[in-house]
């Protein structure tokens, strides 16, 4: 076994994509994710997962931003993204476009992320690092999912949580 680099790596990933492309149309909406490091990580995740779109709302920083660009490795130039001030208005538009809206948040009706049946056209909603998804944004969503925590911590970093759920949707929830 040897690691793939250069042209071999590019061919391997291209061939894998052609044979295993998940049949999902996924959007992620960031509702006031405040820290540029997290936003940059999510841009990189969005590129890796082949998101349809990344929607930045509220106080979420936008490119061009040196921290976002460095962490994202300039994926903000490849990932379709847009900014809308109001998360609820953005969700109304996504619902009108046929998206099912799922918040990553602990709520009284949230289900474990791995037990939820995600429709092929889904928007995952992630909120502020400290305050989560607002009540108004939650009210605009169809459902909420959470990641079970088995240690003393109550949550994962926002980009880590999105990665867990996003790749579950792409490869397990089919």
Looking at residue 22, its pLDDT comes to: 82
Looking at residue 170, its pLDDT comes to: 92
pLDDT tens column, 8-62: 999 999 988 888 878 889 999 999 999 999 999 999 999 999 999 999 999 999 9
Q: How far is CA 56 from CA 18, 30, 40, 128, in A?
A: 29, 5, 12, 12
Mean pLDDT across the chain: 95
Q: Region 89-118: what's the mean pLDDT?
A: 97
Q: Region 123-130: what's the mean pLDDT?
A: 97
Looking at residue 23, its pLDDT comes to: 84
pLDDT exceeds cutoff 70 at 173 = no
Give me the CATH topology for the region 21-171.
Alpha/beta knot (3.40.1280)
Contact residues for 159 (Cβ-Cβ < 8 A; gap 6+): 38, 41, 42, 45
Q: Which residues pair with 55 in a beta bridge?
A: 29, 82
φ, ψ of residue 141 to 5 degrees: the values are: -90, 155
Q: Region 70-78: what's the mean pLDDT?
A: 95
């Amino acid at each position: 076994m040897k690691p793939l680099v250069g042209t071999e790596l590019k061919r391997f990933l291209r061939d894998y994509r052609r044979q295993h492309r998940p049949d999902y149309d996924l959007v992620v909406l960031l509702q006031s994710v405040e820290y540029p490091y997290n936003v940059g990580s999510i841009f990189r995740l969005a590129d890796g997962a082949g998101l349809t779109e990344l929607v930045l709302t509220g106080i979420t920083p936008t490119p061009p931003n040196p921290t976002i660009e460095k962490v994202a490795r300039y994926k903000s130039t490849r990932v379709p993204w847009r900014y809308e001030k109001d998360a609820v208005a953005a969700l109304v538009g996504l619902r009108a476009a046929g998206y099912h809206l799922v918040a990553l948040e602990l709520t009284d009706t949230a289900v474990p992320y791995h037990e939820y049946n995600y429709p092929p056209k889904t928007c995952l909603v992630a909120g502020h690092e400290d305050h989560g998804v607002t009540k108004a944004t939650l009210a605009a969503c169809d459902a909420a999912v959470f990641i079970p925590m088995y240690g003393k911590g109550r949550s994962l970093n926002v980009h880590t949580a999105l990665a867990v759920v996003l790749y579950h949707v792409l490869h397990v929830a089919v």
